[in-house]
Amino acid sequence: MFTGRIIIADDDPIIRMDLTAMLQELGHQVIAAVENGDAAWRLAQSLKPDLVILDVMMPGMDGLQAAARISSQRLAPVLLLTAYSEAPMVEQAIRAGVLAYLVKPFRKQELQPAVEIALARYRELSALEGQIDALQEQIETRKAVGKAKAILMQRFGMSDREAMRRLQAQSLSLNRSLKQIAEAIILTEEISPTNN
């Protein structure tokens, strides 16, 4: 069972108090309990919680607005607490990046599964984003290497294989990535007086 650092935002002090007690009984640490979404968002930026639990209807920045900000900045997973279970509200929650949804009134035994689901979805999302970033980097490297090889082949009459070996040798000798070497060659070609 996961135990973590949690921020709660609900404009009802009784719900904040009850929710804090439930979470603590489940082994979690409530690091902040605030009454609006703006405070939750600001604290999420500075405290780096494991989870943020938001009520929907709050004064100022509501839970959906706060969820959208927290999610877009990848500050923490968001679990939404609400008395509303209608489809439009669920759709808004999904668009805001909410990873779990719990309808009031709820019981303590419903809380931990919702927490676990939000955290598991967040870990999966983070892993996918990492894979996307790695793939994007590979694509950019391949493009740069291809362009640099073409420059070497044209300028020095090298074969594709020879150009690749030259890039790899430079990468090893200068302790730079293949992409950095390729980008340097491309830049040199772009500022070369023969291209003006």
Q: What is the per-residue pLDDT for 1?
A: 60
Domains in the chain (CATH in brackets) are 5-106 (3.40.50.2300), 131-195 (1.10.10.10)
Q: What's the start-to-end Cα distance of the chain, in Å?
A: 65
Confidence tier at 134 by pLDDT (50, 70, 90):
confident
pLDDT in tens, 7-24: 999 999 999 999 999 999
Greater confidence (2 vs 49) lies with 49
pLDDT in tens, 25-73: 988 999 999 999 999 999 999 999 999 999 998 888 889 999 999 999 9
Q: At what angle do helices 160-174 and 178-191 cross, to 10 degrees?
A: 110
Has residue 196 got a pLDDT over 60?
Answer: no
pLDDT in tens, 97-129: 888 888 888 888 888 888 888 888 877 877 777
Closest CA to 2 of 135, 110, 95, 117: 117
Q: What is the per-residue pLDDT for 59?
A: 87
C-alpha span between 44 and 24 (Å, rounded): 19
